[in-house]
Chains A and B, each alone.
Chain A
Amino acid sequence: MKGLVPVLAVVAVLAAVPLAGVSNVTLNFLVVALMTALAGQGWNVLGGYGGQYSFGHAAFFGTGAYITAVLQVRYGINAWLAFGLGIVGGALLGAVVGGLTFRSGLRGSYFALVTLAIAEVLRISASVAPITGAGVGTLVKLDLHVAALQFQSRAAFYWTILALVAVALIVTRQIERSRFGVWLIAVRENEDAATALGVNATAIKLAAMVISGAITAAAGCFYVQYFLFIDSGLAYGSWISIEALLTPIIGGAGTVFGPLVGALLVRGLGEGARMVTGGEAPGVDLVVYGCVLVLIIWLAPRGLIGALAQLRGRLKRPAPLVEAGHG
């Protein structure tokens, strides 16, 4: 429990934001930033802790989104249930993709390319399949009731996505302190060495992918409830694959708060750039993302949180340690 104090403190501070009377525009910004953070938190479990860099996390985001939307619109299933099933769908997809890639021993760039390809296959399929609404997309009916998982106020949406982010933070924190997490990190650092110590690397990566898929799918489910519309480009487009990996890498991959910090920073800079240019330069936020990524990889390859930890470590231990005598 002691390890959860920082998580609970951060969540408490964020939960108080709507009470401070911020504008709807600001709340909207925060909702989208938290949604990006959630997608990034999913990526972080697999990529940050497990070292398996997926370039296609849109596959999970989109699957969660489509399941939530299609079940409601075409099958009349309750929104809450559809939301839950969307998360389950993400987990199942994680099991399938993980089973295919890890059991066949794909590592590194091969794994990245296969995940990218899977997201593309899903995008193209969704753009032609009748059940997803094909090119037109799927519109969820406006029904501002709690039973339909839609809210009158932005603040309620904000607290919903914050609750999801909080759950993901707690899950990540618990993973970090569990045997599973230690073994997952060991696989990231050196798969052969981990295997020699009794770690079933394939099973560990598969489990990480299932958790990762579920978390990123939850972001997709939320997207549908918030915007009430989904099409193949939004669901499976590369924008979300990029944001899901960009936010943890910028914030600090393999750290609990990395995706959250990264999402707030990236989204904040993007919004700032849009405001400065007054909307006259579409795509300027993407240019900002690119610049931030270059700067981070150049100056702080372990992300903002990694850089802070390093700085703190240097302040704590000013002189390099001399190896204590052995023997």
Chain B
Amino acid sequence: MADPLLAVEHLSRRFGGLSAVNDVSLAAEEGRITALIGPNGAGKTTLFALIAGFLKPSGGTIRYRGEDVTGEAPHRMARRGIARTFQVVQPFAGLTVHENILVGAHLRHPQREAALAAAAQVGRDLNLGAMLERPADTLTVAGRKRLELAKALATEPKLLLLDEVLAGLNPSEIRDIVPVIRALCRRGITILMIEHVMQAVMSLAEHVFVLAEGRIIAAGSPAQVAADPHVVEAYLGHGAAARLGGRAHDK
């Protein structure tokens, strides 16, 4: 098998005495959707911040396209083709939707006209076409999530790190956006996503890593992971798997 697009090896990050990310290794295979799940506080967002360069690791390496990119500044990561979205969306509040996307589009298009056109195209791809001239702070939650995605996409990434883009959306909005993410993958963008909405993880991801208390506790296909007793315990507490299994036995 070819080298994965992104390979994280033995990555650690400590905050004082707390190991937020502890000896984590994972890989995102090119052209696939990989999911990272785990209970609240597991260290998922910290792991993303490490990969995208916003935090420096205490140990371990990050390889992107075979190159060691550990500890590089975030803007360099973006130039290499790694784009991230933020769990708490970070629009440029005073600007219009079009101008927001333009910031990302300028990375690959130095000329204003080309960048404006590219930004408008990304906006239309994400069904923001009718809202391009609106101030970003007038968008609904779903609109802001789409804008967050549009900004990242405008940088024309090869690897997209999605931090809970579905959180806060209602079921119909989730149904709308799931095909968008799948289409991105089909266009050749490798996706690594943090997600709590399991229905979406199940339908989108080919490979799932489970993070709990800073460690990878399970990995595999969505079905394998969902059946893993360690995963059930991480979410529901110690002994939960046995209790649930026992109940299944009783039936």
Residues of chain A touching chain B, judged by Cβ–Cβ distance below 8 Å, are: 177-179, 182-183, 185-186, 189-190, 192-201, 321, 323-324, 326-327
> Is B149's CB within 8 Å of the partner chain A?
no
A–B complex contacts, Cβ < 8 Å, 14 sampled: A178-B112, A182-B115, A185-B95, A186-B103, A189-B95, A192-B86, A193-B91, A197-B104, A197-B151, A197-B155, A199-B75, A323-B139, A324-B131, A326-B173
Cβ–Cβ contact A190 & B91, under 8 A: yes
Cβ–Cβ contact B92 & A193, under 8 A: yes
Q: From residue 139 to 188 of chain B, which have CB atoms closer than 8 A to chain A?
A: 139-140, 142-143, 146, 151-152, 154-155, 172-173, 175-176
Residues of chain A with a CB closer than 8 A to B172's CB: 327
CA distance A13 to B91 in the complex (A): 39
Q: From residue 89 to 145 of chain B, which have CB atoms closer than 8 A to chain A?
A: 90-95, 99, 102-104, 106-107, 110-112, 115, 127, 130-131, 134, 138-140, 142-143
Residues of chain B with a CB closer than 8 A to A199's CB: 75, 103
Binds A, one of B34-42, B76-84, B238-246: B76-84
Q: Which residue of A lies closest to B110 (CB)?
A: A179
Q: Least Cβ distance of B128 to chain A in Å?
A: 8
CA distance A321 to B104 in the complex (A): 26
Cβ–Cβ contact A185 & B92, under 8 A: yes
Cβ–Cβ contact A177 & B91, under 8 A: no
Residues of chain B with a CB closer than 8 A to A185's CB: 92, 95, 99
Cβ–Cβ contact B90 & A192, under 8 A: yes
Q: Least Cβ distance of B235 to chain A in Å?
A: 29
Answer whether A326 and B142 are a contact pair too, CB < 8 Å, given A183-B106, A186-B103, A192-B54.
yes
> Is B52's CB within 8 Å of the partner chain A?
yes
Q: Which residue of B lies closest to A181 (CB)?
A: B112
Q: From residue 51 to 80 of chain B, which have CB atoms closer than 8 A to chain A?
A: 52, 54, 73-75, 78-79
Q: Least Cβ distance of B173 to chain A in Å?
A: 8
CA distance A178 to B138 in the complex (A): 26
Contact of B75 among A182, A198, A323, A324 (CB under 8 A): A198
Cβ–Cβ contact A197 & B83, under 8 A: yes
CA distance A190 to B99 in the complex (A): 13
Cβ–Cβ contact A179 & B152, under 8 A: no
Cβ–Cβ contact A190 & B90, under 8 A: yes
CA distance A201 to B75 in the complex (A): 8
Answer whether A198 and B112 are a contact pair too, CB < 8 Å, given A192-B90, A324-B131.
no
Q: Least Cβ distance of B156 to chain A in Å?
A: 10
Cβ–Cβ contact A195 & B74, under 8 A: yes
Answer whether A182 and B106 are a contact pair too, CB < 8 Å, given A193-B92, A197-B152, A200-B75.
yes
Cβ–Cβ contact B176 & A196, under 8 A: no
List 6 additional contacts besides A193-B86, A195-B75; criterion CB under 8 Å. Answer: A177-B112, A182-B103, A197-B78, A326-B127, A326-B142, A326-B143
Contact of A326 among B78, B103, B176 (CB under 8 A): B176
CA distance A197 to B160 in the complex (A): 12
Residues of chain A with a CB closer than 8 A to B146's CB: 326
Q: Least Cβ distance of A133 to chain B in Å?
A: 45
Cβ–Cβ contact A198 & B78, under 8 A: yes
CA distance A169 to B86 in the complex (A): 36
Q: Which residue of B lies closest to A321 (CB)?
A: B134
CA distance A269 to B110 in the complex (A): 43
Q: Least Cβ distance of B95 to chain A in Å?
A: 6
Residues of chain A with a CB closer than 8 A to B102's CB: 182
Q: Which residue of B lies closest to A327 (CB)?
A: B176
Cβ–Cβ contact A179 & B93, under 8 A: no
Cβ–Cβ contact A196 & B83, under 8 A: yes
CA distance A327 to B176 in the complex (A): 5
CA distance A183 to B107 in the complex (A): 10
Residues of chain B with a CB closer than 8 A to A186's CB: 92, 95, 103
Most buried by A among B52, B78, B92, B131: B92
Cβ–Cβ contact A189 & B92, under 8 A: yes
CA distance A193 to B115 in the complex (A): 18
